């Protein structure tokens, strides 16, 4: 059977794409694969292996529904509702039936796809706008055009697989009644979305461009690439140029990055397969490969860093990234990508999926090279950065994520110079992510909850500075979009990984900078140093929260607990959602809180200055519908201060072993933490951290170093020391 | 080397135990193994496999500390403190060094054990009672004699391994200065503990009896078996007769059962190895094998059911159960035990450990046969029961645990007719377990927290009836120990597993009974039916809490939430630890709460009667040190009622899939839940449960059935039906 098909495929090449102009001569029989690849897939399913396992699984799944009544309901429901879900399921099943037809040439799959296409063709031309339409971006089959574009990206693949087996009359009916009107609706009739440099635009251009290849409409491809007016002001190429930073960081963060990825890579695959001369994957210094790898690098323990409006259970196993990794592997077969593919545990029945499946069968995977990376943000990479500092490449490694990015558009949070910390495969110091229960009707229809704007986006929901209980940019996204942090320096040395950034304009007349370091001490100790300086006019209240997962163990601060009545911490800007559990005035030099998460203890210590207080809070006030997750935070608070420094260290220490009934090092190891800058040359920052007498460090920072090689000598404690570049971790002799 | 040792072993047999009387003729060269077993172990480490891997791991670990200074500090600290931990570590290391000497005959291990024994012998005779002694059960090396007995159980194994290689003078010194005084202290000088029928007594008798075999003191063995006066009123045999129910259930619950298990099985192994004619493992219908298997059956997802004073991270991988499973496997090589051994992932360097290691190398393990079991409680099995109802044997199976046991002595909770529910490998409706952070000094020295008595033991911390905000037996353990529930019936049929019990005396003039069923409907639906009837004089307030893990999704009850100020639910009996978050009066026939845990939705629905209210609470009030875990519960409350029925159904339904972005069946499927007993013959209970029109059930209960075969015919809804035995699940025809 596969041999017959190969011939058909070749015949198909010569007739189906002949009308492409010579400038865009199509090279391939199919939308996403060459005829050779299709033949290889047909051959592969005769032998055991992952590809065949997946084929059998999908065949079983589709065979079970082949005889079901065709269900193409008149659009009625919004996202998550019945008709919405049925049309989603239909596009998934049509695409898969198309795949199975490609692999088996069994007419039952052809008929399944054909009946559905005819059914949709019979309905589509007469559809009005969706009754539950979203005002700005309405669809017809779905409440928003985004879903309509997703439908088309999938279904055009199904049509591609069967088109050749349909009569000219059948083709004409389906194309004129379904695909042409839908393409017209998504492009000419929805110019704002189509031309928008935004992921909705990517879905639309991908859908239309892919349809152009299948229906032999080069003009659709051109519009998709360069915008409706072909000017290049909109369209896919512009999106490639603007939606990613030079390092492949997507402005809205990894959650939306992986969502945006599918139309990017699949349309690029279609372009490369049909018009390799466009060298689409080489565009902008291989931006799509970079973006795919960035998405992986922006994960920990299999889950994406939960910044901005992230749904926190999303990770590298999402279908978008399965396609991305497989396509990237086909472009450049790096064995580390196979490790990710193995963890994704999903095989694709495509040409590029076959390469991955076979390589996994041969056990070619090696560890994915997770690294410390500065993902600079913005079109030119000069609008702040997301800084990822990883201890090493082990599965349990500690990771510090320093969020000095720009706002991230509508899905961005007011969280300038925020951070998260990960250890042993889990998030420890957390970002709340989005307040949303995706697809759960009972929770506000599965939409972003009102608490997303009111709490989750607000600064107090993050681990960064809040001035006077007001969010950055006063909680105004368009103001936020205008500004970004300035990166001061980053150094990634063996024992010291450090990054520093400054933020102006988050508050009027206040500038704050933050320097965060992940220290891998020669002794084996690992800890985070956090220096947050506020430069201010006038007197203000400063809050610096640390949201942590785990069970509070103890604190050296005697706190007054609100044991018999609890009230919210504030009245607005997210503060109204926090129960104030306890607060106290530290008497020691450090305010410390220790907690236990799984088998590790964590201690957060902050130098006490300016009458600082420690507050313990739990999420849940003003939440009558239990829309928020009742987690906790500690807050260091200073009132009536001008300039101020929050100097903190976060340690992961000790072990709690319940099964073996032992505990070690349950208490913080830090005996001293001080800014000793005044004991050395002007302009340097010196932070002293001691773990008893035997292990003492000085973190020396020269913010003004000309470059990473420039050296500066300074005296401290009677000896001379040298800073190379911006920062140095010195261990003091005993 | 192994051959040489074998000869030595045989020589050892003939000289070392010759003085045993003919009635207790020792058969073995070693305390726990025959000479043949030791030879087999010596042979095994020459070949690759699990046993050799463990040998190499332990050798590496011990070799690394052989040259360290011997550290035998003068006892000073309580549990978890420095000297406590050092002496614990010493006994673990001495035992292991002894094992390595047995395996290798390498003198370095002999010297390690010998030096430590000499060190302890030099200190022990002059030790006063421990400075931090527990008043009732003081130790010398440790704060309590329990730890001293544990030390001896381990160290006597080390001595057993090296004794033969010591000179007569060395032996005499160690025996007269260390073991004899310690045995004397643990037995003659601590008669209350030694004779006590309690797990502390088991450790003491095991330590003394095992020492008797090694030091050739048959009189120590006799005292251990039959008490100091040899009357049989105390001692190991009495403990075997009284501490387990006929099914091997240990009165204090599985957490203490696994703790108690080690001295039981290891002393029994020593008895069997030295005096097989005692047939110790056959005693009381093989009670020790039953107890070992019961410990496994009392687990879910690898963790023990967290009833009574359980630390909830304890499970089948604890070292006690590793010994128990290996010894059980040696007695009767059931392949299911190997599955548990595989999950324990710990190989023992003992004779019985070798059998397990080799069987695992040969991959002989098969699924452990988890079953639905009624663990009757009490010496004669007539003091209530712990009823475990399992849906099936899959890893993700649903399990209902109905706790109709007796009080469980000092570690028991006031939780008569309480229940827990498990699904997908996790606890869903939970038991709080103990309020304790074991070995965490900062948390009340690692002891049971004050909140253990004040909250965790109280009835409100459980999922059962609380009358007038007062705990069962008014929170008095000695009163609780006098009473127990009466089991009414249990039936374990394919589609219906049901158990019923009644409780008097928990409250004056109030009797309540509860019938709980796990339904495996033919349609595939699985749900729990819960019928709790209160028979009362006078008017009372009844609370029925359901403590659940997961995120609240919604309720059909409009509740008034305490959004801006929160107060405790009550002032005593544990109520003072609960924040009242919200409460409301149901208007529908059912009060329903739906929550999401991992990927599954759960709905709890209770029929609304007698002006019932629904309350939502979260743990954390009056907890200034954050000693409690801030979880949540729903409470159905009725005020001023006399007789009352709480009729509830718990459903696990639907799926939330974040990675694949779909949700199905997020809402409760139940459309009707009613007690329709008044529509049929007197004396029957009929509960109707409908999932729409198409799927309707009637649970019919005949509490007075003579036996499981007796049949009763009744009429309902115009048809005749038959109950066989006590209960029947009928599906109504459409």
Which helix (H) or strand (E) segment holds residue B427: the answer is strand B426-429
DSSP strand pairing (A303-304 vs A373-376):
unpaired
Tabulate helix, strand, coil % of chain B (nearest 5): 35, 25, 35
Q: Furthest-apart CA pair in chain A: how many Å?
A: 92
| Among A residues 238-267, those touching chain B with beta carbons less than 8 Å apart | none
pLDDT reported for residue A18: 34
- Cross-strand partners of A515: A500, A531
- For residue A385, the distance in angstroms to the closest alpha carbon of chain B comes to 27
Residues A198/A244, Cβ–Cβ less than 8 Å: no
How many CB atoms within 10 Å of residue A134? 16
Summarize the confidence of residues B497-526 as an average pLDDT.
96
Which residues of chain B are within 8 Å of residue A568 when distances are taken between CB atoms?
Answer: 564
pLDDT reported for residue A724: 95
Would you list the DSSP string of B365-412?
Answer: --------EEEE-STTS-S-EEEEEES-SSTT--EEEEEE----GGG-
pLDDT reported for residue A393: 80
Give all strands (DSSP E) within A284-384, no chain letters. 299-300, 303-304, 373-376
- Is the Cβ of A150 closer than 8 Å to some Cβ of chain B? no
pLDDT reported for residue A28: 60
**C-alpha to C-alpha distance for A563 and B621, rounded to whole angstroms:** 5
- List of chain A residues with pLDDT < 50: 1-27
| Among B residues 79-108, those touching chain A with beta carbons less than 8 Å apart | 80, 85
B631-686: pLDDT as tens digits? 999 999 999 999 999 999 999 999 999 888 888 999 999 999 999 999 998 889 99
Of B154, B243, B158, B160, give the one whose Cα is nearest residue B196: B243
pLDDT reported for residue A23: 35
Query: Per-residue confidence at B22, pLDDT binned at 50, 70, 90?
Result: very low
Q: How far lies A568's CA from each of A51, A475, A574, B518, in Å?
A: 55, 20, 10, 42
B392-404: pLDDT as tens digits? 888 889 999 999 9
| Among A residues 574-613, those touching chain B with beta carbons less than 8 Å apart | 579, 581-582, 594, 596
pLDDT reported for residue B28: 60
CB contact under 8 A, A85 and B559: no
Of B705, B698, B699, B697, give the one whose Cα is nearest residue B726: B705
Within 8 A by CB and 6+ apart from A696, the residues are A672, A688, A689, A690, A731, A732
DSSP strand pairing (B590-597 vs B578-584):
unpaired
Give all strands (DSSP E) within A364-425, no chain letters. 373-376, 385-390, 399-404, 418-423
- For residue B658, the distance in angstroms to the closest alpha carbon of chain A comes to 6
The helix/strand/coil state of A231 is: coil
Residues A306/A427, Cβ–Cβ less than 8 Å: yes
Residue in B85, B660, B666 nearest the CB of A441: B666
Q: How far lies A524's CA from each of A652, A672, B284, in Å?
A: 12, 18, 55
- Predicted-complex ipTM score: 0.89
Query: Does B349 have pLDDT greater than 80?
Result: yes
- Is the Cβ of A52 closer than 8 Å to some Cβ of chain B? no
B188-232: pLDDT as tens digits? 999 999 999 888 999 999 999 999 999 999 999 999 999 999 999
| Residue in B130, B154, B323, B411 annotated catalytic | B411
| Residue in B213, B256, B455, B483 annotated catalytic | B256
DSSP strand pairing (B510-520 vs B600-607):
unpaired
Task: Supply the mean pLDDT for chain B.
Answer: 93
**C-alpha to C-alpha distance for B152 and B270, rounded to whole angstroms:** 14
- Cross-strand partners of B595: B552, B602
The residues of A annotated with a catalytic role in the active site are: 256, 411
Query: Per-residue confidence at B259, pLDDT binned at 50, 70, 90?
Result: confident
**CA-nearest residue of chain A to B575?**
A564
- For residue B553, the distance in angstroms to the closest alpha carbon of chain A comes to 7
pLDDT reported for residue A181: 98
The helix/strand/coil state of B191 is: helix
pLDDT reported for residue A396: 85
- Is the Cβ of B558 closer than 8 Å to some Cβ of chain A? no
**C-alpha to C-alpha distance for B107 and B113, rounded to whole angstroms:** 10
For chain A, the first-to-last Cα distance in angstroms comes to 78
Summarize the confidence of residues B140-146 as an average pLDDT.
96
- Is the Cβ of A49 closer than 8 Å to some Cβ of chain B? no
B170-188: pLDDT as tens digits? 999 999 999 999 999 999 9
pLDDT reported for residue A259: 85
Q: Which long-range contacts (CB under 8 A, 24 or more apart) does A504-511 make?
A: A505/A473, A506/A414, A506/A416, A506/A472, A506/A473, A507/A467, A507/A470, A507/A472, A509/A536, A509/A537, A509/A538, A510/A467, A510/A534, A510/A535, A510/A536, A510/A537, A510/A540, A511/A535, A511/A536
- What would the two tokens of residue B491 be? 């039936």
pLDDT reported for residue A135: 84
Residues B215/B160, Cβ–Cβ less than 8 Å: no
- What would the two tokens of residue A14 be? 């010569």
The helix/strand/coil state of A360 is: helix
Q: How far lies A454's CA from each of A445, A560, A575, A621, B564, in Å?
A: 18, 28, 9, 12, 16
- Is the Cβ of A571 closer than 8 Å to some Cβ of chain B? no
Residue in A439, A567, A661 nearest the CB of B438: A661
Of A636, A660, A656, A655, give the one whose Cα is nearest residue A646: A636
- Is the Cβ of B663 closer than 8 Å to some Cβ of chain A? yes
- Is the Cβ of A620 closer than 8 Å to some Cβ of chain B? yes
B35-45: pLDDT as tens digits? 999 999 999 99
pLDDT reported for residue A7: 31
Residues B402/B376, Cβ–Cβ less than 8 Å: no
């Amino acid at each position: 059977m596969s041999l017959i098909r190969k011939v058909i495929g070749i015949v198909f090449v010569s007739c189906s794409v002949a009308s492409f102009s010579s400038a865009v001569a199509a090279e391939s029989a199919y939308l996403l694969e060459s005829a050779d690849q299709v033949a290889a897939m047909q051959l592969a399913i005769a032998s055991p292996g992952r590809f065949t396992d997946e084929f059998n699984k999908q065949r079983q799944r589709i065979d079970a529904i082949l005889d079901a009544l065709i269900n193409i309901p008149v659009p009625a429901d919004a996202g998550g509702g019945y008709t919405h879900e049925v049309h989603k399921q239909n596009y998934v099943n049509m695409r898969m039936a198309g795949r199975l037809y490609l692999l088996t040439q069994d007419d039952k799959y052809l008929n399944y796809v054909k009946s559905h296409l005819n059914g949709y063709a019979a309905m589509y031309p007469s559809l009005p706008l969706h009754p539950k339409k979203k005002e700005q971006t309405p669809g017809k089959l779905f409440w928003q055009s985004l879903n309509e574009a997703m439908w088309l990206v999938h279904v055009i693949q199904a049509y591609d697989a069967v088109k050749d087996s349909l009569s000219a009359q059948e083709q004409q009916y389906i194309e004129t009644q379904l695909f042409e009107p839908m393409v017209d609706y998504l492009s000419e009739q929805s110019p704002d979305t189509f031309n928008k440099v935004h992921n909705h635009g990517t879905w639309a251009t991908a859908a239309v461009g892919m349809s152009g290849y299948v229906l032999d409409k080069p003009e659709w491809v051109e519009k998709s690439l360069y915008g409706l007016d072909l000017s290049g002001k909109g369209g896919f190429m512009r999106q490639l140029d603007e939606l990613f930073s030079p390092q492949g960081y997507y402005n809205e963060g990894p959650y939306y990055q992986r969502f945006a990825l599918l139309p990017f890579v699949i349309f690029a695959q279609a372009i490369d397969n049909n018009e390799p001369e466009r060298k689409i994957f080489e565009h902008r210094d291989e931006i799509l490969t970079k973006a795919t790898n960035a998405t992986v690098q922006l994960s920990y323990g299999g889950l994406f860093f939960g910044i901005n409006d992230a749904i926190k259970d999303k990770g590298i196993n999402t279908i978008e990234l399965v396609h991305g990794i497989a396509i990237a592997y086909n472009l450049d077969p790096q064995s580390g990508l196979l490790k990710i593919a193995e963890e994704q545990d999903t095989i694709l029945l495509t040409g590029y999926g076959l390469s991955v499946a076979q390589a996994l069968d041969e056990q070619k995977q090696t560890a994915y090279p997770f690294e410390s990376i500065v993902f600079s943000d913005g079109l030119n990479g000069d609008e702040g950065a997301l800084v990822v500092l990883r201890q090493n490449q082990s599965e349990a490694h500690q990771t510090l994520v320093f969020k000095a990015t720009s706002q991230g558009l509508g899905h961005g949070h007011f969280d300038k110079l925020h951070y998260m910390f990960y250890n042993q495969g889990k998030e420890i110091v957390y970002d709340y992510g989005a307040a949303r229960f995706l697809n759960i009707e009972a929770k506000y229809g599965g939409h972003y909850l009102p608490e997303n704007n009111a709490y989750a986006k607000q600064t107090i929901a993050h681990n960064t500075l809040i001035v006077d209980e007001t969010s950055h940019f006063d909680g105004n996204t368009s103001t936020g979009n205008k500004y970004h942090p300035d990166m001061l320096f980053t150094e990634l040395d063996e024992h010291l990984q450090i990054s520093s950034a400054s933020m102006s304009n988050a508050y009027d007349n206040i500038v704050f900078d933050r320097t965060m370091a992940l220290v891998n001490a020669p002794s084996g100790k690992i800890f985070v140093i956090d220096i947050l300086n506020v430069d201010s006019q006038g007197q203000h209240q400063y809050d610096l929260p640390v949201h942590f997962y785990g069970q509070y163990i103890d604190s050296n601060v005697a706190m007054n607990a609100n044991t018999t009545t609890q009230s919210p911490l504030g009245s607005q800007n997210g503060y109204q959602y926090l129960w104030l559990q306890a607060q106290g005035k530290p008497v020691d030099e450090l305010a410390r809180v220790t907690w236990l998460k799984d088998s590790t203890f964590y201690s957060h210590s902050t130098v006490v200055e300016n009458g600082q207080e420690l507050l313990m809070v739990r999420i849940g006030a003003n939440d009558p519908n239990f829309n928020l997750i009742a987690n906790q935070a500690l807050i260091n608070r200073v009132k009536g201060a001008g300039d101020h420094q929050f100097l903190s260290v976060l340690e992961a220490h000790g072990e709690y072993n319940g099964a073996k009934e032992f505990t070690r090092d349950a208490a913080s190891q830090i005996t001293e933490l001080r800014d000793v800058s005044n004991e050395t040359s002007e302009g340097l920052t010196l932070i002293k951290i001691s773990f008893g007498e035997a292990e003492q460090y000085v973190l020396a920072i020269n913010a003004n170093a000309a470059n990473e090689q420039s050296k500066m000598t300074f005296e401290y404690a009677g000896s001379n020391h040298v800073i190379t570049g911006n920062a140095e971790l010195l261990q003091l002799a005993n």
